[in-house]
Structure formats: C-alpha cells, structure tokens
Amino acid sequence: MKRSFIREILESIDNETISFAGGLPDENLFPIQDLQKAASKVFENPKNLQYAISNGIVPLREKIANFYNKERFFTKPENILVTTGSQQGLFIIAKYFQNKQIIIEEPSYLGAVNIFKMNNLGMQPIYLDHGGIDTQKFDEVYQKIKLAYLIPDFQNPKGSLYSDSKRKDIANSVLKYGGYIIEDAPYSELYFDQKSQSISSYIPDNSFHLGSFSKTLSPSLRIGWIRANEEIIKQLTMIKETIDLHSSGISQYILDIYLDDNSLFENHLDQLRKAYKEKMEMFTSALKQELQEFDFVMPKGGMFVFGSLKGFDTMELVRKCMKEKVVFVPGNQFFLDGRISDEIRFNYTYSTKEQVSKGLRTIADISRTLK
C-alpha cells in the first residue's frame, strides 16, 4: 500500500501552516462546555467504564434511530451499528462485500478508495457532475454490479449535491435490480438551505446509510454509525466485534448524555450551519478577489469548494505552496488513475479570515511564477 500524498500534506502541517487541506471542523465551534459536562457525568457510574456490547450502547442507538424516525425514515435501534467513526463503518461494509465490484463516483473520497483496495473491491468509476452522476449510466452499470458507493450530500471532494430526481432514479435502479447502495452522509447536516431526503430512505432494506458525529460535534470522539437492515446489521456486528470488540464506551456515553437534551444538539447544528455558510461566503469571495482564475461552483453545504485553475498542474502547485506553508489538496488525488489535474479541493471550514486571505494570496503569487 502506498502512503497517500494527502497524508504527506497533512503531516507537513505545523503551527505556522495555513491549511485548506483536511476536512477539519472549526475548533472554535466545538460545544466544549456541554461535552465537558456530559463527560463528567459519564464517570459517575463505574458501569460506564466496563466492556460494552459490540453493536453500541442501547440508549445511543435509540437516539440515533430517532434521528431517522423524525424524518419519517422508520428505524429501530436494531438497524444501527455504532462504529469507530464512519471510516470504520465503511471498512466493515467493504469487508462484508470483499472481492466484489463496486460503482464509485469520480472523483471520490480517498479514504473510501483505500478501504475498497484493501478489501479487494473492483472499482467502477462514474463521472460526478455538480447535480450528481448520470443516472442512466448508473442504471446500466448497476444492473451488472448491484453495489455502489455514493456521497449524495456535499460530496468529498467535489461538494456536489444530488438533485431529488437523481436520488429517485438511483433508488429505482436498486428496486429494479436488487443489490445495495452505500450512502456516505457525514456532511448531510451541514446544509445551508434545507436537508435533502436520503436515497436510503427510499430503499431501507437495500442501503447502508453511514452517519457520523465527526463533522457535527467532534472528530476526536470517533463515533459514527451504519443504518441498514436488521439482518445485515447482525452480520456486520460480528465483523465489528472481531476488529475492535466495540467502539470507545467513554465516547458513546458522552454522546448519549449530551443528546439527552435534544435541543442542545439542534441548537448547535443551527449555529454550525450558519457559521459554515458565513465561512463559505467569506472563502468564496476571497477566492474571487485573490485567485480570479479559479473556476468553481458555490457549495450549498458541507466543507469544501472544488474547482479548476486552468492551465496549471495543481500537484506541482501544491508542492511549491507547501514550502511557503500553505496547503490544499490537488484534484488528481481523488482520481483512481492519478491523472494530471488542474483541480483543487479547498476546505473552508477550518481557517480564519486572515489565514484565508493570506493563504490564497500566496497561492496566487506562486501560480504566477509557474506561468
């Protein structure tokens, strides 16, 4: 296995680096006091420090199930498997489907690509446009393969949001041919206008819906989940148990206690959406000012703005920028073939306004030396 260049970028980051690279939440927006209160309560009961069951503590699974029920996507605690981040959720699903073929979006999340490689899944990429993939093409390929990995909400890296009609098209293909989609949804709550209906809700028994607290509360908790049909959850639980017995009980109990007062989480999400929308607007207006040649589509949520800098090999560009302590992820990292690309994924949630202006100006200055 090759170390990813993204890792190389992330590891080059020190206190002086301006980073538009990782998908990092804004640290100033973590609800640290509420989580601290919850954490303190966890240690009042020694049973919370004991081994827990592999599929996740019951009250947390009940609360996660209720996220779905509120949206009329009928879900029981038995439909939920708590995982060590949604990264592990995806690993477990890939292990379950090992050696099969799978449709992926092109470009796609590199962490998923690595998981599929490790579990020997043959990847069939379908080009992703800003409103979603071509669903006619999807139907053709899916008919044969019957397995797909999609990130319909504010995709990583492209920021795309699938239209409702494309969501229905995809669900229809699944209903027609059987099989499964894996719907990765870490950014779904980070919408600016309104939440889209998940594809999984149309096909509850033929889908794996991956959720996470990493982008909404704190990545450090390492708690995500899989929603799937109950029989499959049992199979996945056996894999989970073999991999790490169970996810951090401390993290699970912190979340469970924090979520006891549901308005706390709701209010936090509202704040987060508002703050990230402002950060997106600040970032894109800085882009228009400092890096006018960058061609992009305004995100409707999530953490990334993706676009192209015509005439540049952005891999070459980032290598030079790294020396000046400004980093982003060049587009070629998200394609299986490692093609030369003029594209860039910028994260806009992590940096401050001053860092954004300074960072983008540095990139613009360096790009001029490459012309």
* Residues contributing to the site for a copy of itself (CB under 8 A): 1, 3, 7, 11, 22, 24-25, 27-28, 30, 32-33, 35-36, 39-40, 42-44, 46-53, 83-85, 87-88, 91, 95, 111, 114-115, 118, 214, 218-222, 235, 238-239, 241-251, 253-254
- 20 vs 68, which CB is nearer to a copy of itself? 20
Which of 135, 129, 210, 211 is closest to 174 using CA atoms? Answer: 135
- Contacts of residue 239, defined as CB under 8 A and 6 or more positions apart, other chains included, come to 92, 95, 96
- 296 vs 328, which CB is nearer to a copy of itself? 328
Q: CA 187 from chain center: how many Å?
A: 6
- 15 vs 292, which CB is nearer to a copy of itself? 15
Amino acid making up residue 331: G
- Contacts of residue 119, defined as CB under 8 A and 6 or more positions apart, other chains included, come to 91, 94, 95, 97, 98, 99
The CA-CA-CA angle for residues 331, 226, 184, to 5°, reads 20
Torsion of CA 114, 120, 122, 128, to 10 degrees: -20
> Bridge-partner residues for 150, per DSSP?
183
In whole angstroms, how close is the CB of 312 to a copy of itself at the nearest point?
A: 28
- 254 vs 309, which CB is nearer to a copy of itself? 254
In whole angstroms, how close is the CB of 224 to a copy of itself at the nearest point?
A: 9
Q: What is the 3-state secondary structure (H, E, C) of 164-205?
A: HHHHHHHHHHHHHHCCEEEEECCCCCCECCCCCCCHHHHCCC
Amino acid making up residue 147: L
In whole angstroms, how close is the CB of 222 to a copy of itself at the nearest point?
A: 5
In whole angstroms, how close is the CB of 111 to a copy of itself at the nearest point?
A: 7
3-class secondary structure, 276: helix
- 110 vs 161, which CB is nearer to a copy of itself? 110
- 35 vs 102, which CB is nearer to a copy of itself? 35
In whole angstroms, how close is the CB of 255 to a copy of itself at the nearest point?
A: 10
- 169 vs 256, which CB is nearer to a copy of itself? 256
Entry field: residues in the chain? 371
In whole angstroms, how close is the CB of 14 to a copy of itself at the nearest point?
A: 13
In whole angstroms, how close is the CB of 223 to a copy of itself at the nearest point?
A: 8
CA 146/CA 297 separation, integer angstroms: 31
The CA-CA-CA angle for residues 254, 265, 351, to 5°, reads 95
DSSP code at position 370: T
Q: Strand pairing of 224-227 and 207-212?
A: antiparallel
In whole angstroms, how close is the CB of 23 to a copy of itself at the nearest point?
A: 8
- 39 vs 264, which CB is nearer to a copy of itself? 39
